Amino acid sequence: MRFVQFYLGLPVAMVLLAAFAVPMYHRLKVYTAYEFLETRFGPGTRALTASLFLLQRGLSTGITLYAPALIVSVILGWNIHLTNIVIGSLVVLYTATGGTKAVSWTHVHQLLIALGGMAAALIIAIHAIPSDISFVEAMKVAGRMGRLNAIDFSFDLTTPYSFWAGLIGGCMLALSYFGCDQSQVQRYLTGETVEQSRLGLLFNGLIKVPMQFFILFVGAMVFVFYQFVAPPLFFNTAERAKIGASRYAEAYSRLEEQHRGEFVAKRDRVRQLVGAMRNGKRIDCRRGHHSAAPGAGRGGDDAEAGGGADPAERSARRQQRH
């Protein structure tokens, strides 16, 4: 969840680009960011930066095509190479025939499909959690297991994601990406006026952080779902069937049995955590009304040690408190 901090600098970058970059690009009447570099530094700079962009974008596009092709080939059982060719050909076709307008509308449809799919995954995950586990308890489980730690204000340099790194580093990265990368610059250069281009950038800055938070929250709830519902040892059903028909079937079966046993043990520990949180609520409520509860003056350790609680429950309570 801390990855959401990566986008905290994005709104600041969008404001800066809307204030300075957009008017400059419109005033110079350029079609690419590299055309501006040519007017400023000469044709050699334009050729170098454009070549680096095409190389980088070509490599990233290969991954972008391969990822959905891999999923489609697994679900439908298609050949992965043929699936890559089909998806790549469709992208080239609608891009070449429809231009920027076709690309923009395709992205809108892709966004709606992605958000709809994540919303469906969230609803399914919440409803599939055992009925005795409430939504609030599911969120608390995610929080106790470190999946809802969204903001970190520490100055620890060993922490990969923090508020300050996201605000400063994220802002710098967004300035370079949305200000210089042609894949992004071309989007707001298609605006008929400066106001339209600015509106597009500012809307991007406003919606990106809550959208990313929603995406990560869906992931946290799916994580909780798999604490109570056993996941398969290997999600690729086609490859799993091949293993079942091979000489490794017996070894794979033993691994599945071990996997199920470890999952049951983990699920039991998670249920102990839920029980400890429920007991903690009742204890806190009693202490709120009875300030002289035993052990209250010593942090509650003696109170938790008594009362007939077993060692597993006491351990879960200590983990909950810390």
pLDDT tens by residue, 4-47: 898 999 999 999 999 999 999 999 888 888 998 898 899 999 99
For residue 73, which amino acid is it?
Answer: S
Averaged pLDDT, 208-226? 93
Question: Which of 87, 100, 68 has its CA nearest to residue 183?
Answer: 100
Q: Distance between terminal CA atoms of the chain? A: 20
User: In this model, does residue 316 exceed pLDDT 70?
Assistant: no
What's the rounded Cα separation, in Å, for the pair 193 and 208? 23
* Cα–Cα dist 8/206, whole Å: 10
- Residues 6 or more apart from 317 whose CB is under 8 A from it? 276, 279, 280, 304, 309
Mean pLDDT of the chain: 84
pLDDT tier at 281, thresholds 50, 70, 90: low
- The predicted model scores a pTM of 0.76
| CB-count exposure of residue 210 (10 Å: 0-12, 13-18, 19+) | exposed
* Range of weakest confidence among 76-80, 112-116, 170-174: 76-80
Instruction: Give yes or no for residue 142 having a pLDDT over 90.
Output: yes
